[in-house]
Amino acid sequence: MKMPDLPKQHKAREMDFGGWLKNYTEKHPHLLATGLETKQTTTDSIPFSVVTPQQVAFGMGAKSSKGVWIRVQGLNGEQDYIFLVNSPSMIVIRFPKIVCWIDIENFIIERDPPKRKSLTSERAAEISIRTVKL
């Protein structure tokens, strides 16, 4: 499967994480049927600001009854569009030792009001719906 082009500054790291995530979900398909926004860090914390307002709005839209449309490139015969409505929406964060699937609403609750500027891996594991040790 050919992965879409990514911004040059994170291309290799994001492709590595994307490959890991694809392999994991193929081995555990019953765990996920949702939109995923992926983030990663080389430290034990990640700034809340890495998830942009547009990404939050899109994730919340996928959880709503209005839903969101996704245009797919269709390089390998995929369908042209995906429509997510009343769907779970996750932020998947890869820390050095764990990967956490966090519901978008839980991420927002942690972020607002701004008590802290970043999410630690320890707190991410506490609020995640799934945590995988690396």
Q: Which two tokens stand for residue 63?
A: 């959880």
Per-residue pLDDT tens over the stretch 73-118: 878 888 888 888 999 999 999 999 999 999 999 999 999 987 889 9
Among residues 123, 127, 63, the alpha carbon closest in space to that of 101 is found at 127
pLDDT value for 15: 66
Per-residue pLDDT tens over the stretch 36-66: 999 999 999 999 999 999 999 999 999 999 9
| pLDDT of residue 31 exceeding 60 | no
Indicate the class that CATH gives domain 34-133: alpha beta
Q: Render 39-99 in DSSP notation, one character per residue.
A: EE-SSSEEEGGGS-HHHHHHHHHHHSSS-EEEE---TTS--SEEEE-S--EEEEEE-SSEE
pLDDT value for 10: 54
